[in-house]
Amino acid sequence: MKPNLTIIRAVPGDASALSELTKLSKDHWGYGAVQIALWKEELTILPEYIAQYPTYNLLVDGTLAAYYSYKLLEETTVVLLDNIFIHPDYIGKGYGQLLMEDFFARTTLPVVTKFRLYSDPHAETFYQRFGFVTVGQHQSSIPNRFLPIMEKVL
């Protein structure tokens, strides 16, 4: 039986659940408890963030499985995909593609010229499948670890 999939706008009260999902998702890639603890502030989604930036939850049979959020930059000509996280139990089931399709559908406006994101190194090939190319590197909070800066020009 196919699961019931719903994408809904997050509300500030979702902040704790989204923060927990973010940490679980990041930990899935083997960073370990010490690094996750060091990233506590970076991986925490605040209610104020959800109120300010469009954030969308993916519910699978009513359970929070993933989310994404974005910011409009440079007078709305550039859209930054700020977060996309999938609970480890739902990784590899096509939900990342579903979220990306929803993201593009919600953000493709006549004035948008480019999408940008800072990728986890483990996710770079995932974003390449959607037409993103690596245009630079950003120093992460871990010494000698760089995040690919990726863009998709429309």
7-55 pLDDT, tens per residue? Answer: 999 999 999 999 999 999 999 988 889 989 989 999 999 999 999 999 9
| Domain count along the chain | 1
Give this prediction's pTM: 0.93
Cα–Cα distance between 127 and 148 in angstroms, integer? 11
Cα–Cα distance between 68 and 96 in angstroms, integer? 10
Decide if pLDDT at 152 tops 90: yes
69-116 pLDDT, tens per residue? Answer: 999 987 678 999 999 999 999 999 999 999 999 999 999 778 889 999
Please count the CA atoms within 13 angstroms of the CA of 111 that sit on its side-chain side: 8
Q: Which domain holds residue 16?
A: 5-153
Question: Which two structure tokens, joined as six digits, stand for 25?
Answer: 């998702």
pLDDT for 81 equals 98
Cα–Cα distance between 83 and 96 in angstroms, integer? 12
pLDDT for 109 equals 78
Please count the CA atoms within 13 angstroms of the CA of 131 that sit on its side-chain side: 8
User: Looking at residue 137, which CATH number applies to its domain?
Assistant: 3.40.630.30
Confidence of residue 153 (pLDDT cuts 50, 70, 90): very high
Sheet holding 78-86, edge to edge: 5-9, 55-60, 63-73, 78-86, 114-118, 146-153, 133-139
